[in-house]
Chains A and B, each alone.
Chain A
């Protein structure tokens, strides 16, 4: 009734193909951007930045990257943690060897380095498929973590073996280091997120994205109609690794500030990001955000309700948190097996027709 197509006329193909085809959707999107850029920075505090928004935004980038590879191109990867570590260590090395380079370019360069590494580990995908491919990426995961731990050059020979981000500024504001203010860190991340999400959306609906999806749906058929699997798959690996590398660089420099590779970028992180895109929705940009939101926000929310709200002992609350998160995942699946993004899509379709569905 309030949410409808009627009256929203399209007079060109361009308008017909836009991402938010409905006027209300467009307005909601612009409103969300306005809130994110102009309202949130003024009300954000350290807790909201460090505990909720930064991990959500940064992991959403990683989820976007993995979704490009797994959701759009159909190549299952469990090496996300390892590739994020590449981004983080690249970031650290660039930060310390070129102290005057703007942190923005450092982050992008870290993504580029990760893209190269991703290319190398993507080569087996030409021969190995499906769950079996996960092994190639798991090999990357374990090998990279082992490497960063073993070779002292990566952590500048420090006795502790940990890397910590020195202070770097942009336009006079500290982005990394302990003195970075919450709004600045938040704005830095959300700018990158919006930029990368915009690129991802346009990549995936263009020629490149269609060739990825052709490979995903049936690679032999795609090859016959002229999609080069070598180039397409490797491009997917490179783009995906770029996103994941950027995410890793931000995770280390802006969010955590100090990192020990095995503890932070271990296999659990790889699984967590895979869970995000499956729960959110494979092959959906929105799904990457919903999935990241679900797995970052729900535990924090549940913890706050149970421990701070109801005053339960922390251990019981933590156990119940697992039970509820697991129950929710299974529950959502039974209701809608194609992820939360699909649930959202269906809800919108129903709402379009509401209250007269026939």
Chain B
């Protein structure tokens, strides 16, 4: 096989993996949109907040220490413990559930039955609020997130594939980041468990009922408020997973909240209402943008991924205006 061909395969594989990383973020959006019709602008900030909380617990940071020190003139920073990753993750899950309850109690409850754009705006406010709150609680310094996810290229794969190229050509074997493999496994587990949850549990069925028709669900006695809390809690946990995966690479810092931008084209391509759509949309975007950067990028100066993802989504949309898997838009007068 020629190295060019192998390189293309490598680009496609890595594109798929990158797509999975985008899907992880997009999943959180889809969950909330499906159950409540809210486009949750705060999803990215939630990922940042969850990751900060996780690291905070793990390293025994005192919440609000900076504020406390400034007000009382003390200098406390740390409880002086380090928690095992598992415990910290569980505690963060608890925090995200509490967060969901608070959001429902304080904000969403008052906005039932409003138009989507208004709910969208409420999440803008929420995003601002959380951005400030996260920094106040845990400080805006760089935090290193280490929950034991392996990173780096898979040596085994490199050695395994290095011999595939035709004799005499320079080829160094195929590269796949182990973090991406873990992310893929995590994404598969997430999707399967979400599917099982919504197919086979009582709450899951209630979720689907709400997604299908709010009013019908209410009329058969499903509590909309309870469902919203559950959905926001799940979205919070998904945000945490996305935060862990992306934060492992870059450390936990403000920019983590910008990963939401990478999820937007995925969402639009896959449709706002479909979980498989989020995954397949992610894969298409990932492969598309990587191939474009590989093939066309060098000719026009590179760094094309950001806009090409959107152009790709746009091309698909012209043929399917509701996204690949979105509910068909039926228009009547």
Chain A contact residues, CB within 8 Å of chain B: 124, 127-129, 131-132, 134-136, 138-139, 142-143, 146, 150, 218-221, 224, 267, 275, 278-279, 282, 312-313, 315-316, 318-330, 333-334, 337-338
Tally of contact residues, B, Cβ under 8 A: 52
Would A132 and B321 be within 8 Å (CB), given that A150-B301, A327-B129 are in contact?
yes
Q: Which of A124, A220, A312, A322 interacts with B129 by CB under 8 Å?
A: A322
Q: Is the CB of B111 within 8 A of A135?
A: no
Check B140 for interface membership: any CB of A closer than 8 A.
yes
Inter-chain contacts of A146 with B (CB < 8 A)? 303-304, 306-307
- A326 contacts across to B, CB distance below 8 A: 125-132
Partner of B128 from the list A322, A337, A338 (CB cut-off 8 Å) is A322
Residue in A278, A312, A316 whose CB lies within 8 Å of B124:
A278
Q: List 26 A-B contacts (CB under 8 A).
A: A127-B318, A128-B321, A129-B329, A131-B272, A132-B317, A134-B268, A135-B314, A138-B264, A138-B310, A139-B307, A139-B311, A142-B307, A143-B307, A143-B311, A279-B121, A316-B70, A319-B132, A321-B132, A322-B133, A323-B136, A326-B125, A326-B128, A326-B132, A330-B126, A333-B122, A333-B125
Asked if B67 is at the interface (CB within 8 A of a chain A CB), the reply is yes
What 9 pairs across the A-B complex have the smallest Cβ distances? Answer: A322-B132, A326-B129, A326-B128, A329-B125, A142-B307, A139-B310, A323-B132, A330-B125, A143-B307
B264 near A127 with CB under 8 A, answer no
Q: Which residue among B122, B306, B310 has the maximum number of chain A CB atoms within 10 Å of its CB?
A: B310
Q: When chains A and B are docked, how far (Å) is the Cα of A146 from the Cα of B132? A: 30
Report the Cα distance A315→B132, complex, angstroms. 10
Whether A135 contacts B264 in the complex (CB less than 8 A), given A128-B318, A321-B132, A333-B118, comes out as yes
Residues in A neighbouring B114, C-beta threshold 8 A: 337
What CA separation (Å) do A278 and B121 show in the bound complex?
7
Chain B contacts with A in 245-265, Cβ cutoff 8 A? 261, 264-265
Determine whether the beta carbon of B121 is less than 8 Å from that of A320: no
Q: Which residues of B contact A282 (CB under 8 A)?
A: 117
Measured CA separation A143–B310 after assembly (Å): 9
B283 to chain A, nearest CB (A): 17
- A312-B70 in contact (CB<8A): yes
6 additional A-B pairs beyond A316-B70, A321-B132, beta carbons within 8 Å, are: A224-B333, A278-B117, A318-B132, A322-B129, A323-B132, A330-B106
Is B322 an interface residue, CB under 8 A from the partner? yes
Cβ of B107 within 8 Å of any chain A Cβ, yes or no, is: yes
- Within the complex, the shortest CB–CB distance from B326 to chain A, in Å, comes to 8
Taking a contact as CB atoms under 8 Å apart, the answer to whether B318 and A124 are in contact is yes
A135 touching B310 in the complex, CB below 8 Å, given contacts A127-B321, A129-B321, A330-B125 = yes
Chain B nearest CB, measured from A312 CB (Å): 7
Partner of B314, one of A124, A324, A327, A337: A124
Q: How far is the CA of A218 from the CA of B311 in the complex (A)?
A: 27
Given known pairs A327-B129, A329-B124, the reply for A135 and B304 (CB within 8 Å) is no
Cα of A194 to Cα of B267 in the assembled complex, Å: 40
**Is residue B313 contacting chain A, with contact meaning CB distance below 8 A?**
yes
Please, which residues of chain B bring their CB within 8 A of the CB of A329? 121-122, 124-125, 128
Contact between B129 and A221, CB atoms less than 8 A apart: no
Given known contacts A128-B317, A150-B300, A319-B136, A330 and B307 CB-to-CB distance under 8 angstroms: no
CB distance from B208 to the nearest CB of A (A): 22
Bound form: Cα–Cα A280–B44 in Å: 24
Residues of chain A contacted by B57 (CB below 8 angstroms): none
A127, B272: Cα distance in complex, Å:
17
Do B129 and A330 touch (CB < 8 A)?
yes
- Tell me if B323 counts as interface (CB < 8 A to partner A): yes
Question: What CA separation (Å) do A278 and B306 show in the bound complex?
Answer: 26
B110 contacts chain A at the CB level, 8 A cutoff: yes
A267-B307 Cα distance, complex, nearest whole Å: 12
A150–B306 Cα gap in the complex (Å)? Answer: 14
Contact A316 B67 (CB under 8 A): yes
Instruction: Report the bound CA distance from A318 to B67 in whole Å.
Output: 12
User: Per-position contact with A for B32-69: 1 when CB-CB < 8 Å, else 0?
Assistant: 00000001000000000000000000000000001100
**CB neighbours of B304 from chain A (8 A):** 146
A325 to B313, CA, bound (A): 33
Measured CA separation A326–B127 after assembly (Å): 7
Docked-complex contact B132 and A320, CB < 8 angstroms: yes
The distance from the CB of A83 to the nearest CB of chain B, in whole angstroms, is 15
Residue with the highest number of chain B CB atoms closer than 10 Å, among A313, A322, A324, A338: A322
- With a CB–CB cut-off of 8 A, which chain B residues contact A128? 314, 317-318, 321
